[in-house]
Amino acid sequence: MLVTLSWLSRYVDITLTHDELVDRLSLSGLNHEGSETIDGEVVIDLEVTSNRGDCLGHIGVAREIAVLTDQKLKLPMIEFQESSKNVNDLLTVRNEFTDAMPPPIPPMPIWALIGTPAKAAGI
């Protein structure tokens, strides 16, 4: 996973130097595979093991850094305007490969699936 300090600093305050940071990350499970300088930016290559899918993005790595350095994570606020058009006016979706999808579960009250507490207790 390639990350840059400038992008990470959008989500967390980076209080460590590059060397300290990659050391801390290596010792917490994101092994430092190398750093390159491209166009004046330092690009850090981290090894993301398959149990750390959360680190396959800058926000995930920033979260890790926030925990390691006791900082707060600054999540970006996404604002958008809801369009006045209804999506069904613009396009329709039809599933032509029903084999790939299981039949839809009809809406059921939750107690039908997990039983009432009394039933669960065996009364």
Answer for which of 9, 16, 24, 31 binds another protein (CB under 8 A) is 31
Amino acid found at 50: S
Answer for which of 51, 81, 84, 95 binds another protein (CB under 8 A) is 51
Does residue 52 touch another protein according to CB under 8 A?
yes
- Name the β-bridge partners of 46: 32
**Contact between residue 28 and residue 47 where contact means Cβ atoms under 8 Å apart:** no
- Name the β-bridge partners of 2: 45
Does residue 35 touch another protein according to CB under 8 A?
no
Residues 71-110, interacting with another protein (CB under 8 A): none
Return the half-sphere exposure (C-beta side, CA atoms, 13 A cut-off) of residue 15. 9
Give me the least distance between CB of 53 and another protein, in Å please.
Answer: 11
Residue nearer to another protein on the CB measure, 6 or 49: 49
Residue nearer to another protein on the CB measure, 23 or 41: 23
Rounded distance between C-alpha atoms, residue 4 and residue 37, angstroms: 10
